[in-house]
Amino acid sequence: MTALRTPPPRLPVRDKAGAGDRAWGGVSPMLTRLAAERATGVLVRERGSLHLVEGEVVHAESPAAAGLGLLLTARGTLHAEAWRAACDAADERHGAGRLLLDGGLITLGALELCHLGALYDAAYFVLSPSSTPGRFRYGVTHRPGSPLAVPVAALEHETLRRRDLLHRIWPDAATDGTPLVRADPVAVPPLTARQRTVLALVDGVRTAPEIARLLGRRAFPTLVDVRRLVAAGAVDPRPPLPPPPPPPADTDPEITLLKRLRDALEAL
């Protein structure tokens, strides 16, 4: 009797064409899955968080990026008092941005421009390589600051584009978060007004995101300015501080003798 052998099932093959169409680049597999699920909640990662509604990103937060309020108030688009009042009056249905729109204190175009700028800036840092896994809390909603929502594919595509741009300017990402010092170049090419403003705040302590916050600017354009300053030889990342010196050895002969006696007594 001849035994029939059932062939093993074929291994799944990745749909390369479909992956190319998505162009998501694998920035965050968890975020990709949440988009496919049309999930609602908050994705928390090492450098910030992304808020999703039905699989699209409506808000992003990172300590390294200026928020919507700073971008609206830094250049006189909105008075700081008006922003604080809107934040205090916001509820689960009407965020600060919607209240400002309804009150005629800001135009839809200005709100959307600042909202997208803050979202993409924060998402760049949130989606940066991480040493810890992300976690997602289902059902957590963010009070809407703007009616705009960004598809995950578009967000990841823009994140990859920004990484590539910064790498082409200067390939060392340490300039993005390390305190910056002024270099002593032989010759520096002419700097733009933006770059001169950034350079004026380089003091050996501030990082690029901190300089952007002081200027009331979005973080990513400041990262671009800083990398161009580094490439031009005008700025360097501050080298790490040397370790503290070891405590001086005790050479007093009497103390040395006492220590030997103590060790001998402990050994009895």
Do 164 and 177 have their domain in common? no
Do 142 and 67 have their domain in common? yes
The pLDDT, as a whole number, for residue 244 is 64
Do 115 and 57 have their domain in common? yes
Do 164 and 186 have their domain in common? no
| Structural domains of the chain, count | 2
pLDDT per residue over 38-95, tens digit each? 999 999 999 999 999 999 999 999 999 999 889 988 877 889 899 899 888 877 667 8
The pLDDT, as a whole number, for residue 252 is 66
Instruction: Give me the domain span that covers residue 180.
Output: 173-237
Residues 209/219, Cβ–Cβ less than 8 Å: yes
The pLDDT, as a whole number, for residue 125 is 95
Per-residue b or e along 86-119, where b marks 16 or more CB atoms closer than 10 Å to that residue's CB: bbeebeeeebbbbbbbeeebbeeebbebbbebbb
Say if 16 falls within a structural domain: no
Do 39 and 133 have their domain in common? yes
The pLDDT, as a whole number, for residue 242 is 64
CATH number, domain containing residue 219? 1.10.10
Residue 117: name the closest of 92, 146, 94 by CA.
146
The pLDDT, as a whole number, for residue 21 is 41
Do 29 and 120 have their domain in common? yes
Do 161 and 226 have their domain in common? no
The pLDDT, as a whole number, for residue 15 is 42
Say if 95 falls within a structural domain: yes
Say if 9 falls within a structural domain: no
- Mean pLDDT, consecutive 10-residue segments, the chain of 268 residues? 40 38 63 94 94 93 92 85 87 79 88 91 94 89 72 95 96 92 82 94 95 94 96 86 62 72 74
The pLDDT, as a whole number, for residue 249 is 57
Say if 137 falls within a structural domain: yes
Do 136 and 207 have their domain in common? no
Do 138 and 164 have their domain in common? yes
Instruction: Check: pTM over 0.85? Answer yes or no.
Output: no
